[in-house]
Structure formats: structure tokens, C-alpha cells
Amino acid sequence: MTLPIGPEDVLAAAARLDGVAHRTPVMTSRTADERTGAQLFFKCENLQRVGAFKFRGAYSALSRFTPAQRKGGVIAYSSGNHGQAIAVSARLLGMPVAIVMPQDAPPIKIAATRGYGAEVILYDRYTENREAIGQRIATERGMTLIPPYNHVDVIAGQGTAALELIEEAGALDALVVCVGGGGLIGGCATITKHLLPECRVIGVEPAAGNDMQRSLAEGRIIHIDVPDTIADGAQTQHAGELTFPILQALVERIVTVTDPQLVAAMRFFFERMKIVVEPTGCLGAAALFERAIDLRGKRVGVILSGGNVDAERFASLLSMAPRAD
């Protein structure tokens, strides 16, 4: 079966992103290794431009616009990071940009998106359909809609995170990636399985929103209500038609973690590694720390997908969690 993207698409995206996206550091931690029994390589996309890997997919897509598309500009709907990534990419490429965001998105994300020069259009995510709103405004204004994960150039761009990780860490036995709509893991799996066919690719979802786990088990895309989880970047309600077949072909399995487990991982990154990782960004690491996946003795890549969390929210989440030890 031909999948929606191939490794050559990830390599082409890497060329477009060269010198534009940060080549984020890969960090290690002896304490994390001791706790999991594995050798972990953390790809720090919390230190990417706009604070999340989403910059990769956004710039990858916008840098392929035709002159006519650039003139009309871009519109996106997003719970935050994708919106910011599109806003910054549009500014870098000099095109108009509008972002459709939920009213209850973290204030830091709404303010940052406006700060990047985007027009922000707010909606109620419990009663309104963001896809319909985005589609309508795109048609009215002649803008190109770029979805957060269901787009070939977006998926290819996200895959460059794994490409860099493998270039730096070398051969891996497993790659653990957080899962929302599957754009990140789809792109990462595509390049990883090409470079390292034996490497296992494992996804991690919030327990409250395990639509991808269920979809893969049932062999069809399942739709769920907006999940109640602190992992706001993974509150997606369904996989994409483009991401789903990639996951079916290349992802070994999906495991889940709870919100308190995410907070414990957040605390670990802050206290031990001195880095801020947002709740969604902790999914992969939390699964390893909780031994939801047992990879003892293995070399394991983990994508820390983002670091955008309000200082107040960060402090209140940590104060609710017990110390790491």
C-alpha cells in the first residue's frame, strides 16, 4: 500500500527547514535512565521556535505555497501551538494570517499568537465546529487552510524532529512519541522506519482521550468528545484520514497515561533537567517513567513535543503533585 507520505518527503521538508527551524538539543539524564532501566535520548522540541515542534510542519507547508496562495494568505484552527507556528511562519514568509482558536485556550497562547501579528478568531469548542468555521472563512477570504495534522507537508515537516534525533543519537531500538491527531508520530515513524527498520515506534495518548488507541484496535477512525485532560495539545477528537493509515502501517502500539502521571513527569523535567515541558509534551516520558512501556536495556528516543505552559498553570499543576522522590 502507498502511504500518504514517504521518507523522501521528510528529507525534502528538512531541506526547506534548514537554517529556519532550530536544530533542538538532544538531552540525556542519568536519573531518568536509572528510573526506566533504558538509555533515553530526549529530543527537546520544547526549545523549538514558538516552543513546540509544530513550527516544523507549519513552515514546511507554508514554504510550498504558490505565489497566488501567498498573496491570499493562510488560515488555521488550533488549540494553540499550531496557531502560533502558522502565525510565525506566515510572518517569516510575508503573508496574511488568521487563526481560529478556542475561547478557553491558555491565555499565553492566545496572546502570543496575536503578538506574532495574526488575526485571532475565537470560538466555543464545546458547541462550535472549528473545521467548519475555518473552512467558511477560508472560502470567503481566499485564504488557504492548513490543518494541524491532516496535511502531507505538515506531517513531513514534523518528521524532521525524528530525523535530527537519529542523526544525533545514532541507532535507536525504540522511539516514543506523543499522539494527538497523529501528525508528529506519522512523520517521525515514516523517517524512522526508513532509516532504522527495526526501531519500534510507540505512541502515547492521554488516558482520557485514547481515540487513536481505539481506532487502531478497531481498524477505523473513531470520533470522541473533547477529552478532559491537561494535555491540551492532545485533545483531538479523531485521527486524520492521512495520518491514520501511516499509523496503521508503522506504529507498533499506543499506550496511555493519566494526568497525574503527566504532572509527575513535568516536575521531573523541571527539578532534574531544568527544562519546562508542557503537559502534552510529557506524554512519552511519562509512559516510560510509569513503565507503561518496558524498554529496559534499550536505546530509546523520546520526543518532548513542547514547552508552552503559563507560569501560573505550571506552578499550580506542580503544587498538586507529590515530589519525584
Ligand X SMILES: *Cc1c(COP(=O)(O)O)cnc(C)c1O
Considering the candidates 9, 153, 211, 290, report the single residue annotated as catalytic. Answer: 211
| Radius of gyration over every alpha carbon of the chain, rounded to an integer in angstroms | 18
Q: What angle do CA 300, 265, 214 make, to 5 degrees?
A: 70
**Please, which residue, 70 or 224, has the CB nearer to ligand X?**
224
Decide if residue 60 touches ligand X (CB under 6 A): no
DSSP state of 306: B
- Which residue, 39 or 207, has its beta carbon nearer to ligand X? 207
- Report in angstroms how near the CB of residue 187 gets to ligand X at its nearest: 8
Binding test (CB under 6 A) with ligand X, winner from 16, 49, 54, 200: 54
| CB count in 10 Å sphere of residue 145 | 17
- Using CB under 6 A, which of 29, 60, 236, 261 touches ligand X? 236
Does position 181 interact with ligand X (CB under 6 A)? The reply is: yes
The span of 14-22, 173-181, 221-229, 291-299 binding ligand X (CB under 6 A) equals: 173-181
Number of amino acids touching ligand X (CB under 6 A): 22
Task: Tally Cβ neighbours within 10 Å of residue 120.
Answer: 18
DSSP 63: T
Single residue of 4, 157, 180, 209 touching ligand X by CB under 6 A: 180
Asked if 157 contacts 61 with a C-beta cutoff of 8 angstroms, the reply is yes
Stretch that binds ligand X, among 64-72, 180-188, 194-202, 286-294 (CB under 6 A): 180-188
Q: Are 47 and 197 in contact (CB under 8 A)?
A: no
To ligand X, the closest distance from the beta carbon of 179 in angstroms equals: 5
Per the annotation, the verdict on 225 as an active-site residue is: no
Query: Which region holds residue 37: left if phi is over 0, alpha if psi is between -120 and 50, else beta?
Result: left
- Please tell me the distance from the alpha carbon of residue 170 to that of residue 189, in angstroms, as a whole number: 16
Contact between 210 and ligand X per CB under 6 A: no
Residues 68-87 that bind ligand X (CB under 6 A): 81
**Would you say 201 and 179 are in contact if contact means Cβ atoms under 8 Å apart?**
no
Contact (CB, 8 A) for 188 and 174: no
Phi, psi of 119 (to 5 degrees): -80, 125
| 218 carries an active-site annotation | no
> What is the DSSP code string of 168-205?
HH---SEEEEE-SSSHHHHHHHHHHHHH-TT-EEEEEE
173 catalytic per annotation: no
Binding mask 80-119 for ligand X (x = CB under 6 A): -x--------------------------------------
Kindly state whether residue 149 participates in binding ligand X, applying the rule CB under 6 A. yes
Q: Which residues pair with 301 in a beta bridge?
A: 41, 175
Q: Which is nearer to ligand X, 154 or 169 (CB)?
A: 154
Contact letters for ligand X, residues 10-49 (x by CB under 6 A): ----------------------------------------
- At residue 320's C-alpha, the angle toward residues 214 and 82, to 5°, is 50
Q: Can 310 be counted among the known catalytic residues? A: no
Residues annotated as catalytic (active site), given as ranges:
54, 79, 205, 209, 211, 305
Q: Which residues bind ligand X (CB under 6 A)?
A: 52, 54, 81, 148-149, 158, 178-185, 233-234, 236, 278, 280-281, 305-306
